Every structure is written in structure tokens, then in C-alpha cells.
């Protein structure tokens, strides 16, 4: 019997899942309750691993044509600054950079690739109910349609309808801190191809990512991202700004019956490390391969540990960088100074940032 899959959610995870399923000959439908591609997404950094995964479909090539290649990392703490080129890595990947691209543009590219494979996202369509049967899932949408699918994939984000309906607990914590974001146009940003991280007093941190020659994205663990930058910048235009909360959560299994979860529906963590969207893309490729090879039980076995490891790594980094303890802060500053003098430590930092 020809397999049919319903993907719920057309963010990067859902789109990548549909692309990879279609490439492997699995009949797939994809829906999203949004009226169109979102213009409010936070993710901007595409890692080398994700570019490798997106290369076979042609998506990586199209993304590279639009994004900004960040070729170095700059870290500032007090009077100390550290700048390390990503080219110092000895990793054999052809992508020795982070590709900076607003998530809405990433989604637009993935949607175009999916359309070339003959699949169009059905926007403004919500999953209202479903029933898991022994041979598949009967799903009903708010447009009144009811269809039978072999599998239903919940790629519908942190507040996943699919996860809640199937009764999987989203275990974890909500962080007691307010984060903020700002997309702005500026005249005088000095580092157009660098990821810029500033460690502030009292456990603060602010990251700035250039999106083109004049536009930068700022994310901070403070209520006002613009005010978190240690130096004044001339802002020509504010495209968007706001605050958001952080949760650190993961389901115990990514599969229950014929329901499978991927991306933020299965796991979420802080922006530290920039792995959220990339973790979802890796979920998507693995899930599509497992479905196409009729080995779906392997999906959760493979991806749950990867999610746990990423969450743990992100939390270690967040706690270190946001520590208010003078001893830890002083040790961090000393480590940055030592790293600036040691090529081995620089390579380790770069490899951790790009490839971990």
C-alpha cells in the first residue's frame, strides 16, 4: 500500500520533512494554521550540518544565494575582546561558516523546493482532531475534510496540537527570565560577517547577527535587546522588536502509535548555541528516512538522545554565560584571554560553535 503522511506545521522542520519524504517517493500532505509564512520567527542561523542535510534537495544552494556567511565569532567581556575566524577549524565540511538568514526567508526557500516536488502547503488549515488506528491515522481539519494517513507528523511547534492530543507530557521547566529580540537597520555596524556576543554585567548577554549590509538581529537575556548593546548604534528603522519567554522541555518519546513529533513539538531550549531550528531540521531528515525505509521505530531511538544532548549543551552554555557569580565570571574572562593566545583552544571553540 502506498504510504501517505500528513505533516502538521510548515516551519523549517515540517517543510524539510515534507521535502525529504517527497524526494523518497512518499506521498505527503502538509498543513499549517497560519495564513502564510510567518514574519515573526526568531531563528536566523543555519549550521554547517543543516546545510549538509539540505544539500541533496537543492535547498542549501538556494539558501546560500540569499544568506550572509558569518566567517568568525567575536566575544566581548568587559575590556577583553576575542575574535576567531571559523577557517581555523580543521573540520572537513565545505561549510566553515554559519549562514545568517531570517527564518521567514528560509521557509520561503524550503516552500519553493517543496513546490518543485509537486507539494503545496495548505495554509489557513488547522488539525481539529484525529484518531490513531492500527493501520494509520484518521485526521480531520477545520475545513471539514477527513482523510486517512499512514502517519501523522506533529511539527507544529512548542504549543503542538498533535502532542497535546496524543497525551505526551512536555516535561521540563520555564526559565524565570525575560528575553528580547530586535531587528533593526543601522548605519555603522562594524562587523558584517561575524557573530557578535557581548557578556554584560550581572549575567547579561547580547548577541548580534548581521542579516545584510545594514540590518542586524539582536537577541538578549534582558527585556530590551536594543538597550542591551554596550555601545550606542544609530538605528534607522526598527523592523520588529519584542520579548519572549524560554522553556526547556522534551517529550519522553518522539513516537506514540502512528503519531510522530519533530522539532519544537518534541523539544525546546534557550537560543544559546543557535541550535533550535537546526535540531528540528536534523529530526526531519532522520524521520523521513525512517518512514521511507519502513523503520519508524528507529526514529525516536536515534533522535531523542540527540535532543537531550543538545538541550544539555545549550543549558550548560546558558548557565555559564549568564552566571552572576564573580568567581565564574572572572574565570570566564580569564579563559577568553587564554583562548586568544592559544590556537588549539580557538579551534576547539570554533568546532563547538559550528559542529557540535
pLDDT, one tens digit for every residue, the chain (356 residues): 356 999 999 999 999 999 999 999 999 999 999 998 877 667 889 999 999 999 999 999 999 999 999 999 999 887 778 899 999 888 888 999 999 999 999 999 999 999 999 999 999 999 999 999 989 999 999 988 999 999 999 999 999 999 999 999 999 999 988 999 999 998 878 888 999 999 988 889 999 999 988 899 999 999 899 888 777 788 899 988 899 999 999 999 999 999 999 999 999 999 888 888 999 999 999 999 999 999 999 999 999 999 999 999 999 989 999 898 988 888 888 888 899 899 999 999 999 888 87
Residues 267 and 124 in one domain: yes
Residue 107 and residue 236 in one domain = no
What are the Cα distances from residue 321, in Å, to 201, 304, 340?
Answer: 11, 26, 17
Question: Do 18 and 152 lie in a common domain?
Answer: yes
Cβ neighbours of residue 188 closer than 8 Å, sequence gap 6 or more = 233, 234
Query: Cell numbers 554585567 correspond to what residue?
Result: 201
Note whether 17 and 148 are same-domain residues: yes
| pLDDT of 1 | 37
Contact 216, 186 (CB under 8 A): yes
Best CA proximity match to 109, nearest among 240, 8, 12, 213 = 12
The CATH number given to whatever domain includes residue 200 is 3.30.70.2450
Within this chain, do residues 227 and 202 fall inside the same structural domain, yes or no? Answer: yes
Residue at 71 is within a domain: no
Whether residue 91 is contained in a domain is answered as no
The rounded distance, in Å, linking the Cα atoms of 43 and 169 is 25
First vs last C-alpha separation in the chain? 39
The pLDDT of residue 191 is 84
Whether 36 and 151 map to the same domain: the answer is yes
Range of the domain at 29: 4-44+102-170+251-320
Structure-block grid coordinates of residue 181? 529580540
Domains in the chain: how many in total?
A: 2
Longest CA span, the chain:
65
d(C-alpha 47, C-alpha 334), whole Å: 28
Instruction: Verify that 37 and 109 share a domain, yes or no.
Output: yes
Ordered DSSP codes for 37-50: S-S-----EE-HHH
Residues 208 and 350 reside in one and the same domain: yes
- The whole-model pTM stands at 0.94
In a domain, 332, yes or no: yes
Nearest to 229 by CA among 278, 262, 184: 184
126 occurs within a structural domain: yes
Same domain, yes or no, for 113 and 37?
yes
Q: Is residue 263 part of a domain?
A: yes
Residue 62, C-beta contacts closer than 8 angstroms, at least 6 positions apart = 109, 112, 113
Q: Considering Cα of 229, then 232, then 237, then 242, what sign does the dihedral take? A: positive
**Residue 209 has what pLDDT?**
93
Both 40 and 109 in a single domain?
Answer: yes
Do residues 147 and 278 share a domain?
yes
Residue 60 lies in a domain: no
Amino acid at each position: 500500500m502506498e504510504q501517505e503522511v500528513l505533516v502538521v506545521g510548515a516551519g523549517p522542520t515540517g517543510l524539510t520533512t515534507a521535502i525529504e519524504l517527497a524526494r523518497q517517493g512518499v506521498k505527503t500532505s502538509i498543513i499549517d494554521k497560519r495564513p502564510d509564512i510567518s514574519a515573526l520567527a526568531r531563528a536566523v542561523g543555519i549550521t554547517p550540518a543543516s546545510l549538509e542535510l539540505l544539500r541533496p534537495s537543492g535547498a542549501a544552494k538556494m539558501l546560500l544565494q540569499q544568506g550572509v556567511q558569518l566567517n568568525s565569532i567575536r566575544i566581548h567581556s568587559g575590556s577583553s575582546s576575542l575574535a576567531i575566524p571559523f577557517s581555523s577549524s580543521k573540520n572537513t565540511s565545505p561549510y566553515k561558516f554559519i549562514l545568517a538568514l531570517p527564518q521567514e526567508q528560509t521557509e520561503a526557500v524550503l516552500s519553493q523546493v517543496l513546490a518543485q516536488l509537486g507539494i503545496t502547503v495548505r495554509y489557513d488549515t488547522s488539525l481539529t482532531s484525529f484518531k490513531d488506528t492500527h493501520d494509520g491515522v484518521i485526521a480531520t481539519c477545520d475545513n471539514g475534510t477527513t482523510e486517512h494517513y499512514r502517519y501523522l507528523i506533529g511539527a507544529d511547534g512548542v504549543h503542538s496540537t498533535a502532542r497535546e492530543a496524543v497525551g505526551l507530557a512536555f516535561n521540563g521547566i520555564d526559565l524565570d527570565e525575560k528575553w528580547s529580540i530586535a531587528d533593526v537597520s543601522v548605519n555603522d555596524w562594524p562587523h558584517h560577517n561575524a557573530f557578535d556576543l557581548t557578556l554584560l554585567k550581572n549575567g547579561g548577554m547580547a548577541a548580534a547577527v548581521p542579516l545584510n549590509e545594514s540590518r542586524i538581529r539582536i537577541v538578549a537575556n534582558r527585556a530590551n535587546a536594543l538597550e542591551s548593546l554596550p555601545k550606542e548604534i544609530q538605528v534607522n528603522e526598527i523592523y520588529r522588536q519584542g520579548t519572549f519567554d524560554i522553556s526547556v522541555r522534551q517529550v519522553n518519546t518522539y513516537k506514540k502509535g502512528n503519531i510522530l513529533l519533530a522539532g519544537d513539538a518534541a523539544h525546546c531550549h534557550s537560543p544559546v548555541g543557535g541550535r533550535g531550528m537546526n535540531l528540528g531540521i536534523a529530526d526531519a531528515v532522520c524521520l523521513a528516512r525512517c518512514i521511507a525505509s519502513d523503520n519508524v521505530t528507529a526514529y525516536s531511538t536515534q533522535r531523542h538522545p540527540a535532543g537531550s544532548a543538545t538541550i544539555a549543551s545549550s543549558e550548560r552554555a546558558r548557565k555559564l554565560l549568564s552566571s552572576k557569580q564573580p568567581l565564574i565570571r572572572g574565570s570566564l574572562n580569564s579563559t577568553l584571554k587564554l583562548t586568544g593566545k592559544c590556537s588549539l583552544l580557538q579551534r576547539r571553540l570554533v568546532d563547538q560553535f559550528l559542529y557540535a
